[in-house]
Amino acid sequence: MQPDQPVLLITGASSGIGAATARIAHQAGYRLVLTARSEDKLKSLQAKLGGHSKTLALTCDVQQKEDLDQVVKQTLNTFGQLDAVFANAGRGGTPGGFTDADAEQWKEMLLTNVLGVAHTIQSTLPAIKESSGHILITGSVAGRVPIKGSMYSATKWAVSGIGYNLREELKGTGVRVTLIEPGMVNTPFFDEEPDHALQDEDIANAVLYALSQPPHVDVNEILVRPVAKSS
C-alpha cells in the first residue's frame, strides 16, 4: 500500500469533467485508472499524466459489468490497491420530452446514466471496502428539481437515490460516498458553448475537495452552480 500515492478510478475520463478531474488529481499525487470507450483520447491523456507508471488507460463500456470487473482486476494487478472511484460516465439529454423523444436514445441514456453507475459501484466495492475508500458519483442539479419533459433529469434523480441508498448500506464500513451535483457545465455535451456555464475544472476542483478531507469527514453532497447573471 502506498497511502501517499492513492489510486483513483474515473469512468467517462476521456473528456469533460472526467479528463479535468484526472489532470487535477494527477497534480495532487494520485495514480490514475482512466476508463472510457474512446481509446485514442485515453491514450493521449495517459501520455500527459505520467505514462504507464502513473496512469492506466483502459477502454470500458459501463453498460457492461464484465468490462468494469476487468478494469478492477487490472487496477489491482498493476497498483495493488483502489482508494477512490469517480462514477462519472454519462450521456446528455434528448429533445422532444416524453411526447416526441427518441425512445432508443432514452434506452442508451438510462443504461449509461443509471445502470452504468450501479455497475461501477458493484464492481469496485470490494476493493473500496478493503481500502476504506471513497465513492464519488456525478449527479446534477437536474436530479434535485423537476425539468419539463426531461428523461435526463429523471436519470439524475435516480443517481441521487443511488448515492443516498449506498451511503445507508455502507454505514459503519468507513467508506465515504459523495454526490457531485453540477449545474450547467461547458462540456462536449453541447454543440455550441453555452453563455452561462461552469467549466469542467470547476467540478474537478469539487471532486478533489471531497477527496482531500480527512477520513472522519464524509462530504455527502456538493452542489455547484454558476453565479447568476443580473437580468
Q: pLDDT tens digit string along 175-216?
A: 999 999 999 887 665 555 666 789 999 999 999 999 999 999
Domain 7-224 in CATH 1.10.3720.10? The answer is no
Nearest to 183 by CA among 219, 220, 228, 148: 228
- Per cent of the chain over pLDDT 70 is 94
Q: What's the rounded Cα separation, in Å, for the pair 45 and 15?
A: 9
Residue 60: pLDDT band by 50, 70, 90 thresholds? Answer: very high
Instruction: Copy the grid coordinates of residue 23.
Output: 489532470
Total-model pTM? 0.93
pLDDT at 4: 74
Cβ proximity of 36 and 87 under 8 Å: no
Helices (H), the chain: 16-27, 39-48, 65-79, 97-100, 103-110, 116-131, 151-169, 200-211
Q: What is the C-alpha R_g of the chain? A: 17
Q: Which of 50-59, 85-94, 186-195 has the lowest mean pLDDT?
A: 186-195
Q: Which of 22-26, 37-41, 112-116 has the lowest mean pLDDT?
A: 37-41
Cβ proximity of 155 and 114 under 8 Å: yes
Catalytic choice (30, 152, 164, 209): 152
Average pLDDT, the chain: 93
pLDDT at 188: 60
152 as an active site residue: the answer is: yes
